[in-house]
Amino acid sequence: MASYHGPRGRWYRELLGQGSGALHVGGRRVPVRAVPSPAAADAVVGAFQAKYAGDPALPAMAEPDVLATILRLEPLEAAP
């Protein structure tokens, strides 16, 4: 996951500041820890290109300041 607004994105700042957060999936809350993962840039750009092909915002999604915000979300506890 990456912040479209780069490091000034609200959710990005809050998640890094708190060190953890939660995803809401299928009615469940899954606690997660955010881990910076700039090494995943190629995979993220590929996913953006596949999902947003033809979108005029696509070039902005691959800007260095956006790619620098790539986070890997790791579950804090096993989901049932």
Read off the pLDDT band of 78 (50, 70, 90): low
Distance between CA atoms of residues 78 and 80, nearest Å: 6
pLDDT at 77 over 80: no
Would you state the torsion angle of the CA atoms of residues 26, 50, 47, 52, taken in this order, to the nearest 10 degrees?
-80
Model's pTM, two decimal places? 0.69
pLDDT value of residue 80: 53
**What tens digit of pLDDT does each residue of 1-60 get?**
778 788 888 888 888 889 899 999 999 999 999 888 878 888 888 998 999 999 998 898
What are the φ and ψ backbone dihedral angles of 79, each rounded to 5 degrees? Answer: -75, 140
What does the pLDDT read at residue 32? 94
Q: Which DSSP string do the residues of 41-64 spell out, in sequence order?
A: HHHHHHHHHHHSTT-TTHHHHTSH
